[in-house]
């Protein structure tokens, strides 16, 4: 198993085990947007830079990546629902550390950004989005 796959499995498994609030759209898996419009989330892991942390022929590496969980809610209901769901996402990964077959995965810095209004063709209505991003090494 390569490093990125080990980390993906660990991160998705944790989210899948602890998230019960809404339907989840995982990368490259079948998903139907709720109709009528209801909150849902999209879970993605983005790989970052891989750097050497030691010298020599058997050097160590450190990989950096980010978990993105985008929260979508019906338009015109305010931001409290989305912010409440984002807080729950952040709680899942706050101080999260796990040993994988390829090393220790540690989650740290987090940030929240408003995506804004988007159009959902599946439900035929507008939705509003907010993203939580959590960095890890």
Q: How sure is the predictor about 1, in pLDDT bands with cuts at 50, 70 and 90?
A: very low
Q: At 21, is the pLDDT very low, low, confident or very high (cuts 50, 70, 90)?
A: very high
Boundaries of every domain in the chain = 3-136
pLDDT tens digits for range 27-52: 999 998 887 778 999 999 988 777 77
Q: Does domain 3-136 bear CATH number 3.30.2000.20?
A: yes
Query: In terms of C-beta density within 10 A (0-12 exposed, 13-18 middle, 19 or more buried), how is residue 88 classed?
Result: middle
- Tokens representing residue 56 in the block: 């020599």
Residue 5 has pLDDT above 60, yes or no: yes
Distance CA 102, CA 3 (A): 6
Tell me the pLDDT tens digit for each residue of 56-102. 888 777 777 889 898 988 888 888 998 899 999 999 998 899 888 87
Write the pLDDT tens digit of every residue in 105-120. 888 878 888 887 765 5
């Amino acid at each position: 198993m390569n490093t990125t796959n080990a980390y993906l499995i660990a991160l998705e498994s944790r989210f899948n085990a602890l998230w019960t609030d809404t339907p989840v759209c995982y990368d490259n898996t079948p998903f139907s947007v709720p109709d009528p419009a209801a909150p849902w989330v999209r879970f993605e892991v983005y790989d970052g830079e891989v750097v050497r942390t030691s010298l020599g022929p058997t050097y160590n590496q450190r990989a950096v990546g980010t978990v993105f969980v985008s929260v979508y809610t019906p338009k015109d209901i305010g931001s409290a629902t989305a912010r409440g769901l984002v807080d729950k996402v952040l709680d899942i990964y706050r101080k999260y550390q796990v040993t994988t077959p390829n090393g220790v995965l540690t989650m740290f810095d987090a940030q929240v950004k408003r995506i804004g209004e988007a159009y959902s063709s599946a439900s035929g209505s507008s939705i509003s989005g907010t993203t939580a991003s959590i960095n890890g090494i």
